[in-house]
Amino acid sequence: MPSAADAIEQIKHMIVQTEVQPGDRLPTERELAARFGMSRSTVREAVRALTTMNVLESRVGAGTYVTDLRPGGLLDGTAFALDLMRSRNILQLLEIRRTLDALAASQAAVRITPEGLAGLRELIAVMESDADLDERIGADLEFHRVVARASGNEVLAALLESVSGDTTAARRWRGAVDGSAAERMSSEHHLILSALELGDPHLASVAAAAHVGGVETWLRSLDVDRLPAGDADAAPETTPSPRTE
């Protein structure tokens, strides 16, 4: 008996073959059921699943439509899955982010606009100001988003957003236990900015990789296993002890 997974594959085939394109209205549930040779309830289940995945969207009184299929929306589910994995795989995720950040920076070095560079300078100024901690952390996160978007690769930017996740608590935690973190992070951001201003892809790639690598090195010096099981970004109640082995 055909399952919802079969119906999902059929609908995906219709999209991949451009029978229906972004923004197009999907055939009715009844029409799809007849075409696929399956029940309407099976098709309905598939449509609901694809709607959750941001492939389809239901419009009240108008039917079901294919979304714009932009990477950011399609990768929302990936971000959710990565958030669940973060507590047990944070170092592996950082390894992936190091590679992606380096690639984004190298591409941004030859594509970023003067306006983009000006925006990065402003964000660094906020990070180095006496602004509220959350505002400074927000500027840090936005700095990396700007670089990712400047790469000109929408898929890469979306992947980086998924891998990075919300690291506000982790950044606050590092600031509390590492007295030299702020100064070091500031220096690393300036190095990335300088490489982008020079338009040097290799230097930008190295600077971005070293920036993420610094976070990896710091985490490897701690007992990562003591991070809360549900959220690797949550600050622990006590400062974790360096590994003794």
**Residues contacting residue 238 through CB under 8 Å, at least 6 positions apart:** none
**Residues contacting residue 11 through CB under 8 Å, at least 6 positions apart:** 26, 32, 46, 47, 50, 55, 56
Question: How confident is the model at residue 230, as a pLDDT?
Answer: 39
CB 225 within 8 A of CB 241: no
pTM above 0.75, yes or no: no
Return averaged pLDDT per consecutive 10 residues of the chain, 245 residues in all.
88 92 93 94 93 88 89 69 62 87 97 97 93 85 95 93 67 64 86 97 96 82 52 40 37
Question: How confident is the model at residue 168, as a pLDDT?
Answer: 56
Q: Name the fold adopted by 4-68.
A: Arc Repressor Mutant, subunit A (1.10.10)
Residue 29 CA, distance from chain mean position: 33
CB 33 within 8 A of CB 39: yes
63: left (phi over 0), alpha (psi -120 to 50) or beta: left
| 74-226 maps to CATH 1.20.120.530 | yes
Question: How confident is the model at residue 85, as a pLDDT?
Answer: 56
Q: What are phi and psi of 113, to 5 degrees?
A: -90, 165
Question: How confident is the model at residue 236, as a pLDDT?
Answer: 41
Domain definitions of the chain by residue range? 4-68, 74-226
